A and B are shown apart, each in its own frame.
Chain A
Amino acid sequence: MGEKILMKGNEVIAEAALRAGCRHYFGYPITPQTEIAHYFAKKMPQYGGTFIQAESEVAAMNMVYGAASAGARVMTSSSSPGISLKQEAISYSACAELPAVIVNIVRAGPGLGGILASQCDYFQATKGGGHGDYRMVVLAPSSVQELYELVVEAFNIADRYRTLCMIMGDGMLGQMMEAVEFRDSEDICEADKSWAVTGTGMKRDHNIITSIYIDPEVLEKHNQKLQEKYRKIAENETRVEVYNCDDADIIVAAYGTVARIIKNVIKTAEKEGIRVGLIRPVTLWPFPTAAFEKYAQVPQAFLSVEMSAGQMVEDVRLAVNGKRPVHFLGRTGGMIPTQKEILEKIREILK
Chain B
Amino acid sequence: MAIVFQRPHALRDTEMHYCPGCTHGIVHRMVAEVIDELGIEGTTIGVSPVGCAYNNYLYFNCDMVQAAHGRAPAVATGIKRVHPDNVVFTYQGDGDLAAIGTAEIVHAANRGEKITTIFINNAIYGMTSGQMAPTTLIGQVTTTSPFGRKPEIEGYPLNVCEMLSTLKGAAYVERVSTHDIKNIRNAKKAIKKAFQVQMAGLGFSIVEVLSTCPTNWGIDPVKALKWVEEKMIPQYPLGNFRGKDLEV
Contact = CB atoms under 8 A, between A and B. Distances in A.
A74 interface: yes
Interface in A179-235: 197-203, 206-212, 214
A262 B57 CA distance: 53
Interface stretch (B73-81, B144-152, B223-231): B73-81
Interface in A36-87: 50, 52, 54-56, 58-60, 62-72, 74
Contact of A199 (B47, B58, B83): B83
B63 A199 contact: yes
B42 A206 contact: no
Contacts of B129: none
Contacts of B58: 208
B215 interface: no
Contacts of B80: 66
* From A24, A71, A212, A214, residue with most partner B Cβ within 10 Å: A212
A89 interface: yes
B63 A198 contact: yes
A66 B75 contact: yes
B68 interface: yes
Contact of B71 (A50, A62, A202): A62
A200 B61 contact: yes
B140 interface: no
Contact of B83 (A63, A70, A88, A210): A70
A50 B86 CA distance: 16
B74 A88 contact: no
B39 to A, nearest CB: 10
Given A24-B82, A62-B74, A199-B86, A208 B42 contact: no
A64 B82 CA distance: 10
A55 B107 contact: yes
A255 interface: no
Interface in A147-200: 197-200
A209 B45 CA distance: 11
A24 B83 CA distance: 11
Nearest to A68: B78
Contacts of A207: 63-64
B119 to A, nearest CB: 18
A92 interface: yes
A319 B103 CA distance: 44
* From A68, A70, A200, A211, residue with most partner B Cβ within 10 Å: A70
Nearest to A92: B68
Chain B interface size range: 35 or more
Contact of A210 (B66, B71, B78, B82): B66
Interface string B33-65: 000000001111101100000110110111111
Contact of A59 (B55, B64, B66, B103): B103
A198 B83 contact: yes
A74 B63 contact: no
A199 B62 contact: yes
A122 interface: no
Nearest to A74: B78
A289 B66 CA distance: 37
A26 interface: yes
B103 A56 contact: yes
A207 to B, nearest CB: 5
A211 B66 contact: yes
Nearest to B9: A202
A66 B74 contact: yes
A131 to B, nearest CB: 11
Contacts of B68: 62, 65, 88-89, 92
A202 B41 contact: yes
Contacts of B162: none
Contacts of B63: 197-200, 206-208
Contact of B60 (A66, A92, A199, A206): A206
A69 B103 contact: no
A24 to B, nearest CB: 6
Contacts of B57: 206, 208, 210
B82 A72 contact: yes
Nearest to A202: B42
A68 B67 CA distance: 13
Nearest to B47: A66
B78 A65 contact: yes
A70 B88 CA distance: 11
Contacts of A52: 77, 81, 111
Contact of B78 (A67, A96, A202, A212): A67
Given A62-B68, A66-B77, 12 more contacts: A50-B81, A55-B106, A63-B74, A67-B79, A69-B79, A70-B78, A197-B79, A199-B62, A200-B62, A202-B41, A209-B65, A212-B54
7 contacts: A52-B111, A63-B75, A70-B83, A199-B42, A200-B41, A206-B64, A209-B66
**Chain A to chain B: the 8 pairs with minimum beta-carbon distance, closest first:** A66-B78, A67-B78, A62-B74, A70-B82, A66-B75, A210-B66, A197-B63, A55-B107
Interface of B: 41-45, 47-48, 54-55, 57-58, 60-68, 71, 74-83, 86, 103-104, 106-107, 111
